Amino acid sequence: MIPAMPPTANASRLSSHAVLRFGRFAAMGTVAALILIAGVWASWGTAQHVMLTKGRERGTVDVARCGPHMCTGAFTPLSEGAQPRPRVEIAKSVAVERGRTYTVVLKPGGEDAVRSGPAGVLYAWIPLGGALLLASVVVAGGLLRTRAGWVLALSGFALLTAAFFAV
Protein backbone atom coordinates (compact mmCIF):
# COMPACT_ATOMS: atom_id res chain seq x y z
CA MET A 1 0.00 0.00 0.00
CA ILE A 2 1.31 3.43 -0.99
CA PRO A 3 0.48 6.23 1.38
CA ALA A 4 -1.18 9.30 -0.06
CA MET A 5 0.92 12.32 -0.82
CA PRO A 6 1.08 14.79 2.04
CA PRO A 7 -0.86 18.03 1.40
CA THR A 8 2.29 20.18 1.81
CA ALA A 9 3.94 18.62 -1.29
CA ASN A 10 1.05 19.72 -3.52
CA ALA A 11 1.17 23.27 -2.10
CA SER A 12 4.94 23.56 -2.64
CA ARG A 13 4.57 22.39 -6.24
CA LEU A 14 1.96 25.09 -6.88
CA SER A 15 4.12 27.78 -5.33
CA SER A 16 7.16 26.73 -7.38
CA HIS A 17 5.09 27.02 -10.56
CA ALA A 18 3.95 30.47 -9.50
CA VAL A 19 7.55 31.55 -8.84
CA LEU A 20 8.70 30.23 -12.23
CA ARG A 21 5.80 31.90 -14.00
CA PHE A 22 6.54 35.20 -12.26
CA GLY A 23 10.24 34.88 -13.13
CA ARG A 24 9.45 34.27 -16.79
CA PHE A 25 7.01 37.18 -16.80
CA ALA A 26 9.56 39.51 -15.15
CA ALA A 27 12.41 38.44 -17.46
CA MET A 28 10.44 38.65 -20.70
CA GLY A 29 8.76 41.90 -19.62
CA THR A 30 12.18 43.39 -18.96
CA VAL A 31 13.50 42.23 -22.34
CA ALA A 32 10.46 43.63 -24.17
CA ALA A 33 10.73 46.94 -22.31
CA LEU A 34 14.46 47.21 -23.09
CA ILE A 35 13.83 46.52 -26.79
CA LEU A 36 11.19 49.26 -26.95
CA ILE A 37 13.35 51.72 -24.98
CA ALA A 38 16.27 51.04 -27.34
CA GLY A 39 14.00 51.67 -30.35
CA VAL A 40 12.83 55.01 -28.96
CA TRP A 41 16.40 55.95 -28.02
CA ALA A 42 17.72 55.15 -31.49
CA SER A 43 14.89 57.07 -33.15
CA TRP A 44 14.96 60.12 -30.91
CA GLY A 45 18.46 61.16 -31.99
CA THR A 46 17.08 62.17 -35.39
CA ALA A 47 13.39 62.62 -34.58
CA GLN A 48 14.00 65.44 -32.12
CA HIS A 49 15.44 67.62 -34.88
CA VAL A 50 12.61 66.83 -37.28
CA MET A 51 9.72 67.14 -34.83
CA LEU A 52 10.93 70.04 -32.67
CA THR A 53 11.90 72.53 -35.39
CA LYS A 54 11.27 75.76 -33.48
CA GLY A 55 14.50 77.75 -33.42
CA ARG A 56 16.27 75.44 -35.87
CA GLU A 57 17.43 76.32 -39.35
CA ARG A 58 14.99 74.99 -41.95
CA GLY A 59 15.49 75.01 -45.68
CA THR A 60 16.22 72.93 -48.73
CA VAL A 61 19.31 71.12 -49.89
CA ASP A 62 20.14 70.57 -53.55
CA VAL A 63 22.08 67.30 -53.59
CA ALA A 64 25.12 67.69 -55.81
CA ARG A 65 27.34 64.73 -54.84
CA CYS A 66 26.81 61.40 -53.12
CA GLY A 67 29.41 59.20 -51.50
CA PRO A 68 28.97 55.76 -49.97
CA HIS A 69 27.32 57.07 -46.78
CA MET A 70 26.67 60.80 -47.17
CA CYS A 71 25.39 63.19 -49.80
CA THR A 72 26.34 66.85 -49.97
CA GLY A 73 24.78 69.92 -51.47
CA ALA A 74 24.02 73.62 -51.09
CA PHE A 75 21.62 74.73 -48.35
CA THR A 76 18.97 77.34 -49.19
CA PRO A 77 17.24 78.74 -46.07
CA LEU A 78 13.46 78.90 -45.67
CA SER A 79 13.23 80.06 -42.04
CA GLU A 80 14.15 83.39 -40.47
CA GLY A 81 17.68 83.55 -39.14
CA ALA A 82 18.93 80.68 -41.28
CA GLN A 83 22.06 81.32 -43.28
CA PRO A 84 22.72 79.94 -46.75
CA ARG A 85 25.57 77.43 -46.77
CA PRO A 86 27.55 76.18 -49.73
CA ARG A 87 27.85 72.65 -48.34
CA VAL A 88 25.74 70.57 -45.92
CA GLU A 89 25.64 66.80 -45.50
CA ILE A 90 22.60 64.57 -45.49
CA ALA A 91 22.69 60.84 -44.79
CA LYS A 92 22.50 58.76 -47.93
CA SER A 93 19.53 56.45 -48.04
CA VAL A 94 17.62 54.77 -50.83
CA ALA A 95 15.45 57.87 -51.11
CA VAL A 96 18.24 60.47 -51.47
CA GLU A 97 19.42 60.92 -55.05
CA ARG A 98 21.88 63.25 -56.73
CA GLY A 99 20.24 66.16 -58.51
CA ARG A 100 17.11 66.31 -56.33
CA THR A 101 16.02 68.90 -53.76
CA TYR A 102 14.86 67.96 -50.25
CA THR A 103 13.41 69.98 -47.39
CA VAL A 104 15.69 69.64 -44.38
CA VAL A 105 16.36 70.81 -40.86
CA LEU A 106 19.96 71.48 -39.83
CA LYS A 107 21.25 69.95 -36.62
CA PRO A 108 22.53 72.64 -34.24
CA GLY A 109 26.20 73.47 -34.41
CA GLY A 110 27.04 71.61 -37.55
CA GLU A 111 26.54 71.05 -41.21
CA ASP A 112 24.45 67.89 -40.82
CA ALA A 113 20.95 67.99 -42.25
CA VAL A 114 18.00 65.66 -41.68
CA ARG A 115 14.92 65.40 -43.84
CA SER A 116 11.86 67.23 -42.60
CA GLY A 117 8.15 66.94 -43.18
CA PRO A 118 6.10 63.75 -42.98
CA ALA A 119 8.74 61.71 -44.80
CA GLY A 120 11.43 62.87 -42.39
CA VAL A 121 9.32 62.12 -39.33
CA LEU A 122 8.50 58.61 -40.52
CA TYR A 123 12.09 57.98 -41.58
CA ALA A 124 13.34 59.09 -38.15
CA TRP A 125 11.07 56.59 -36.37
CA ILE A 126 12.13 53.53 -38.43
CA PRO A 127 14.24 52.08 -35.58
CA LEU A 128 11.14 52.15 -33.36
CA GLY A 129 9.20 50.23 -36.03
CA GLY A 130 11.84 47.50 -36.00
CA ALA A 131 11.81 47.44 -32.21
CA LEU A 132 8.03 47.05 -32.21
CA LEU A 133 8.30 44.04 -34.51
CA LEU A 134 11.01 42.45 -32.37
CA ALA A 135 9.20 43.17 -29.11
CA SER A 136 6.01 41.62 -30.52
CA VAL A 137 7.75 38.25 -30.72
CA VAL A 138 8.92 38.53 -27.11
CA VAL A 139 5.49 39.62 -25.87
CA ALA A 140 3.59 36.93 -27.77
CA GLY A 141 6.06 34.10 -27.18
CA GLY A 142 7.65 34.90 -23.84
CA LEU A 143 4.78 36.61 -22.06
CA LEU A 144 2.03 34.59 -23.76
CA ARG A 145 0.14 37.79 -24.57
CA THR A 146 -0.87 37.02 -28.13
CA ARG A 147 -3.19 39.98 -28.67
CA ALA A 148 -0.66 42.47 -27.32
CA GLY A 149 1.97 40.85 -29.56
CA TRP A 150 -0.26 41.28 -32.60
CA VAL A 151 -0.91 44.93 -31.71
CA LEU A 152 2.85 45.58 -31.44
CA ALA A 153 3.56 43.71 -34.68
CA LEU A 154 0.87 45.51 -36.66
CA SER A 155 1.98 48.88 -35.26
CA GLY A 156 5.58 48.23 -36.28
CA PHE A 157 4.53 46.96 -39.70
CA ALA A 158 2.30 50.01 -40.24
CA LEU A 159 5.11 52.39 -39.26
CA LEU A 160 7.65 50.72 -41.54
CA THR A 161 5.19 50.53 -44.43
CA ALA A 162 4.22 54.20 -44.06
CA ALA A 163 7.90 55.18 -43.97
CA PHE A 164 8.58 53.11 -47.08
CA PHE A 165 5.86 54.81 -49.08
CA ALA A 166 6.55 58.33 -47.69
CA VAL A 167 10.28 58.28 -48.32
Model pLDDT, residue 151: 97
- Of 122, 124, 127, 116, the C-alpha closest to 53 is 116
Confidence (pTM): 0.82
Long-range contacts made by residues 160-165, C-beta under 8 angstroms, separation at least 24? 160/126, 160/129, 160/130, 160/133, 162/122, 163/119, 163/122, 163/123, 163/125, 163/126, 163/129
**pLDDT string in tens for the chain (167-residue length):** 456 655 555 556 668 888 888 999 999 999 999 999 999 999 999 899 999 988 889 999 999 998 888 999 999 999 888 889 999 999 887 778 888 999 999 988 778 899 998 989 999 999 999 999 999 999 999 999 999 999 999 999 999 999 999 87
| Amino acid at the residue 105 | V
Model pLDDT, residue 6: 58
